C-alpha cells in the first residue's frame, strides 16, 4: 500500500480527531473486512505513527502484537521512545505510560535482538517512569540477548535504585537469560542482611527464583546461600528456596529439604513434602503417614498427593483419611 492510500484511510477512520477514540477504533476494526493481513499490518504501522489518542495507540499495539511482524518493530520503538507523542494532559500522560509498557511487551514477543539497545536506554534512564522500566527489564529477559546481562546486573546491584520492583524484574530477567555472570551478584544479595519488614524480601524471592533457573548444582556458594535462605524469617523466601534446591540436583538437596518438614509454617512444611515427593517418589509419603513424628497437616497433604498422583489412591487414601479423622 502506498502512503497516499494509507493517508486516505486515516482520514476515513477520523484518525486525526482524537476526541472520539471509540468511534475511531470501530472504523479501524471494520477495515479488516476488506483488507488482507499484510495490508492490515501496513495500516496499523502507519496509523501508530500518526495517531494522537492514547486509547487508539493501545488498540494498535494490541493489534500488531497479534501478528508480530518484523515490519512493525520501528513503529513500536517510536512509541516506546516517546517519539511522535505530544500531550500536556495528565490523564493522557498516564495512558501513554501504560501504552509504552504494553509496547515493550509487544516488542519482547517479536524476539528481535535489534530492540535490545532501545530497551536498555529506557531501562537505564532513572528519570523514566518505573512502569516502563519494569516492562523493559521483562522484555530484555524474554528476548534473551546476552548483551543485556551486564546492564541488568547493574540494576540488580544498585542499592540507590528508587524502585525495588525494578531490581526484582531485573533479577527475574537474569534468570531467564541464564548467564553465569549473574551468579555472584545474585548470591551477594542473598548473603546481605536486611530487615525482614522492608521490600527487600521480595527482591530476595526473585533472586532465589533466578538462581533456581540457572540450575547450578556444582556451585557450592549458590547451594550454601539457598540453604541459608531456609532460615529466613519470610515463609515465602523459604518456600522459594525449597523449590530452587529441589531443582539444583545437589547431592545434599534431599536431606536439606527433609529438615524443612519441621518448619514452623504449615505451607513451608507442605511445599517441602511436595518437593521431596518430586525428588524420590511415593516412599516419603508412606513414611509421613506411618510415623507419629509428623503432624496431621503433613499427613493430610501426603494423602492429597496420593489421591492426585498415585494409582492406588481410592481405597488407600480413604482408609487413611478415616484413620486421621478418628
Q: Which residues of the chain have pLDDT under 50?
A: 196-197
| pLDDT value of position 48 | 95
- For the stretch 204-208, contacts whose Cβ atoms lie closer than 8 Å and that sit 24 or more positions apart, written own/partner, are 204/229, 204/232, 204/234, 204/237, 205/168, 205/234, 205/236, 205/237, 205/240, 206/168, 206/169, 206/171, 206/172, 206/175, 207/156, 207/171, 208/237, 208/240, 208/241, 208/244
Cα 306 to Cα 312: distance, rounded to the nearest angstrom: 8
Residue 63: all three cell numbers together: 493489534
Q: 218-270 pLDDT, tens per residue?
A: 678 888 889 999 998 889 999 999 999 998 888 999 999 999 999 999 999 99
Domain covering 111-214: architecture:
Alpha Horseshoe (1.25)
Residue 229: all three cell numbers together: 535462605
Q: 269-290 pLDDT, tens per residue?
A: 999 999 999 999 999 999 999 9
| pLDDT value of position 214 | 78
Cα 82 to Cα 85: distance, rounded to the nearest angstrom: 6
Q: Where are the domains of the chain?
A: 1-110, 111-214
pTM: 0.79
Amino acid at each position: 500500500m502506498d502512503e497516499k492510500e494509507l493517508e486516505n484511510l486515516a482520514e476515513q477512520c477520523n484518525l486525526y480527531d482524537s476526541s472520539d477514540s471509540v468511534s475511531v477504533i470501530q472504523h479501524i476494526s471494520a477495515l479488516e473486512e476488506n483488507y488482507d493481513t499484510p495490508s492490515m499490518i501496513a495500516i496499523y504501522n502507519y496509523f501508530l505513527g500518526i495517531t494522537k489518542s492514547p486509547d487508539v495507540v493501545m488498540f494498535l499495539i494490541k493489534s500488531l502484537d497479534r501478528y508480530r511482524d518484523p515490519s512493525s518493530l520501528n513503529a513500536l520503538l517510536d512509541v516506546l521512545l516517546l517519539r511522535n507523542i505530544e500531550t500536556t494532559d495528565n490523564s493522557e500522560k498516564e495512558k501513554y505510560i501504560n501504552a509504552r509498557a504494553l509496547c515493550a511487551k509487544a516488542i519482547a514477543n517479536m524476539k528481535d535482538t535489534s530492540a535490545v539497545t532501545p530497551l536498555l536506554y529506557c531501562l537505564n534512564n532513572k528519570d523514566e517512569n518505573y512502569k516502563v522500566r519494569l516492562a523493559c527489564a521483562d522484555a530484555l529477559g524474554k528476548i534473551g540477548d546476552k548483551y543485556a546481562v551486564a546492564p541488568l546486573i547493574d540494576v540488580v546491584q544498585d542499592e540507590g535504585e528508587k524502585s525495588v520492583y525494578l531490581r526484582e524484574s531485573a533479577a527475574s530477567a537474569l534468570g531467564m537469560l541464564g548467564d553465569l555472570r549473574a551468579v555472584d551478584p545474585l548470591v551477594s544479595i542473598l548473603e546481605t542482611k536486611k530487615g525482614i519488614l522492608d521490600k527487600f524480601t521480595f527482591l530476595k524471592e526473585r533472586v532465589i527464583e533466578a538462581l533456581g533457573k540457572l540450575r547450578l548444582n556444582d556451585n557450592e556458594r549458590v547451594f550454601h546461600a539457598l540453604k541459608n535462605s531456609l532460615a529466613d524469617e519470610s515463609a515465602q523466601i523459604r518456600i522459594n528456596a525449597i523449590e530452587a534446591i529441589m531443582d539444583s540436583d545437589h547431592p545434599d538437596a534431599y536431606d536439606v529439604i527433609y529438615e524443612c518438614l519441621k518448619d514452623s509454617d504449615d505451607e513451608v512444611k507442605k511445599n517441602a513434602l511436595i518437593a521431596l515427593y518430586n525428588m524420590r517418589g511415593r516412599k516419603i509419603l508412606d513414611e509421613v503417614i506411618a510415623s507419629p513424628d509428623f503432624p496431621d497437616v503433613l499427613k493430610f497433604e501426603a494423602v492429597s498427593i496420593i489421591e492426585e498422583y498415585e494409582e492406588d489412591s481410592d481405597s488407600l487414601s480413604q482408609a487413611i483419611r478415616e484413620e486421621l479423622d478418628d
